[in-house]
Amino acid sequence: MQDKDVSGDDRSQFLKGVARTLVLRLLSERAMYGYELAAALAQRSEGIFALGQGTLYPLLYSLESKGLIEVAREELAPGSGRKRRYYRVTPAGRAELDSGLTTLRDIARGMRLVLGAKYA
C-alpha cells in the first residue's frame, strides 16, 4: 500500500474549519461586505487565510442560512451599479464565535504542549 500525500487536502480542510470562526470574529467588529471581508482576512493573517470567492461566498451564505450572520444593509458600489451586501453577526453568531474561539484556544494549547514553543 502506497502512502498518499494529502497535506494540501488536510491544510485546505483545516483552513475551511478555521475560516468560519475568523469570519465571525471580523464581522463581530463591524459590518463588512464580501470583498472587504476577504481583504481584511488576508491582510490581518498576512495571506495565510486568503479566501477566494469560491470559498468565501458559500461560507457567508451558509452562515446566513444558519442565522449566524445577517445582511445589515445593501448599498450600491460606487461606479459599478452592483449592490454590496454588508453582513453582521447575530446573537447566535456571537455564541458560535465564542465556542469557536474556545476550540481554537484548546487546539493551539495542545499543539504548544506537544510541539513545544519552537513550532507553535
Record: fold of 9-115: Arc Repressor Mutant, subunit A (1.10.10)
State pLDDT tens for residues 23-38: 999 999 999 999 999 9
Domain ranges of the chain: 9-115
What's the angle, vertex CA 106, arms to CA 119 and CA 101, rounded to 5?
110
Q: Which residues contact 104 (CB under 8 A, 6 or more apart)?
A: 18, 21
pTM of the shown model = 0.82
Please name the amino acid found at residue 44.
R
Cell numbers given for 19:
475560516
- Convert the pLDDT of each residue in 55-103 to its tens digit: 899 999 999 999 999 998 888 878 777 888 999 999 999 999 999 999 9
pLDDT at 2: 47
